[in-house]
A and B are shown apart, each in its own frame.
Chain A
Amino acid sequence: MKNSIVALAAAAAFASSVGLARADNVITLGASVQLTGSSANTGRYYRDAYGLTIAKINEAGGIKVGGKTYKLALKILDNQSDVNLSVRQYVQLITSDKVNFLLGPFASNFALSDSSIAEKYQIPMVQGGGASTQIYTRHYKYIFGTLPAADDYYASTIEMFGKLQPKPETVALVAADDSFDVSVAKGTRERLKAAHMKIAVDATYREGNSDFSSILTQIKAANVDAILWSGHETEALNFIRQMKSLNVNPKDYYGFTVGVPTEDFRKALGKDANYAFGMTSWLPSATLKDRWFGDALGFAKAYKAKFGYDPDYHAASGAADVETFAVALEKAGSLNPKAVRDAIAKINFSSLYALHTKYGENGQIILPQIVVQIQDGKLVPIYSDQFLNKPQYPVPPWNKRG
């Protein structure tokens, strides 16, 4: 009831259309994104990145497909952070709005469900919002993703542990119970076992949980060396605030899958954000050359200028999804969904997001996570396959901080 009422209003309010009429020279990309609801804070990255990248490609004259020049258009719907509505909207985008190709929503559980629609109608979807390996283990042919595998999120962190002194030996693993975080926890458990580290606390919490006091009490009692946490940004903020109020101090390290790279995280926590470790698959760098933005720095600058906030890896990943279609369409020389799907499977190009934007056999990109840390309010890259900067390690207890 609630969803249907709001759906009507939101569809009217948020349906963004740029050249929606099926003009001969327009290729429409369709997406259902969290513009309202509990995930709207992250959903906006995708709306903004899709729009900016399409505008940039069109400014440069559009794309040439089979000798004809096309402009790109975007049809974006608000799924209100409701996965069931999202599925219905992807059906609508294909059957009623007749979009040519699909861009993805934010979050693994959405991508997991929505990709089934892409597969059913055999319309390629490139999504940069879902990292769960569950999305890619169903042998679907029409789903591609620009976030690296959730199982590997803590790979670089655990590799780094082996090079730190003192080396963490005992770990508390805390993860939400949604598709993405279940994948992260599963992969992390295996890697910790392989690294001969002991998991002293292994806790799963309900997605959206705001009270971590019981879990934190167990962690405190276990006196662990490190906390590895996986969930959503709002939960990460609550977790850190409650860590401090319950005086929970892991001896060496605490790290998060999400939140740390975003400006919001630092703003919300102030000084309490310092020392937190995190990860990102993307940092704006001049080495990431891009056909439309010049490089990743150019993208970050254009994005900030237009929307007033810094892009993070979600935004860069969303931009790479649009560029994937642009490059693949030119290579395919056709608007035929199967031809475009085959072209996506073979492409390998430098983008603002990755030096080698290409997809593995399962459709998922392979990218390392860069370990980052907040030091004096600034985001500092720490480790990829080697140290990039000196970590502030071990993290000091709460009562010893300035």
Chain B
Amino acid sequence: MVLAQILLNGILLGGLYGLMALGMALVWGVLNIVNLAHGALIMLGGYVVYYIFVFTGLDPFAAIAVAMVIMFGVGFLLQYGLLNLIVRSALLNTLLITFGLDVVITYLAQFLFTADFRTINPSYAGANFSAFGLTVPGIRFAAFVVAIALAAALWWLLNRRPLGLAIRATSQNLVAARLYGVDPRILYAVTFGIGTALAGAAGGLYGMIANLTPYIGASLTAKSFVIAIIGGLTNPFNVILGGIVVGIAESLATLYFGATYSDVVSFGLLVLVLVVRPTRTLRAA
């Protein structure tokens, strides 16, 4: 029963991990930007949800929808005003600029929000229910469902809607897309905006499970990076699956080796994937 509960914990945690990585994978796959500020954007999204919840009393899940709109705007402006300058340049340039962005966002967050711990703590935050003798934490379950729903929405957008087809077309053949009347600057900004909105949703859900501080970004970027590599950059469901694999691996590592080694296992998985299936991973990246 302990093993079953720990597997369940891992799966639920993995869903959230997958959602965290979804935005990074999209931006990386389409724009070829390895966004080192992704974790900082997750953190920012968490604070947006926190303040909407605290000041308006809006339910955090509804606040996430509002935060996604706000974060879309933030992402759109960042890409349009800043990242479009380096979008087709060498990878090192994108790493440098997003690294700088991460530092700026983090320290701006400390300045604006202070280093106090914040928790998005609705009255039902600790609620749980039993299923097959296991305890299912309500918020984690809801976060898992939201993650799957957003992955499905992203898949639908990319594969079934004109906007998504334009995004993919621009990614695959810029000249041909232009000939069909696509403005790549706007499309890149929309893509980054969608990635940032997904990061915002992940931040809101993260804030309901763990504490928000301005400094959570770096570790979330690292986690998202691992999952994006494991899940690949093309299919949103694979990214969620990658998150679940990492979530289960970390939970089992805690059970069998101790919680000190959970990160070793997730980064070990990254190395394993790169060794076993480098062609697939590199092609996707």
Contacts and interface: CB of A to CB of B under 8 A. Distances in A.
Given A211-B13, A245-B138, A246-B137, A205 B259 contact: yes
A398 interface: yes
A241 B9 contact: no
B127 interface: yes
B221 interface: no
Interface residues of A, number: 44
A243 to B, nearest CB: 8
Given A203-B258, A217-B9, A268-B119, A247 B128 contact: yes
Given A214-B255, A217-B9, A38 B213 contact: yes
Interface stretch (A88-96, A149-157, A232-240): A232-240
B224 interface: no
Chief secondary structure at chain B's binding surface? helix
Contacts of A164: none
A44 B117 CA distance: 13
Contacts of B138: 245
B119 to A, nearest CB: 5
Interface residue tally on B, bucketed by range: 35 or more
Nearest to A202: B258
A41 B215 CA distance: 11
Contacts of A1: 99
B173 to A, nearest CB: 36
Nearest to A398: B126
A139 B107 CA distance: 39
A285 interface: no
A241 B255 contact: no
A208 B260 CA distance: 10
A6 B115 contact: no
6 contacts: A41-B117, A209-B259, A213-B251, A214-B251, A214-B254, A237-B211
Interface of B: 1-2, 5-6, 9-10, 13, 99, 103, 107, 110, 115-119, 121, 125-128, 135, 137-140, 209-211, 213, 215-216, 219, 250-251, 254-255, 258-263
Given A205-B260, A246-B135, A269-B119, 17 more contacts: A2-B99, A6-B107, A40-B215, A41-B116, A210-B210, A214-B259, A217-B2, A233-B117, A237-B211, A238-B211, A241-B209, A241-B210, A244-B126, A246-B137, A268-B117, A272-B126, A398-B126
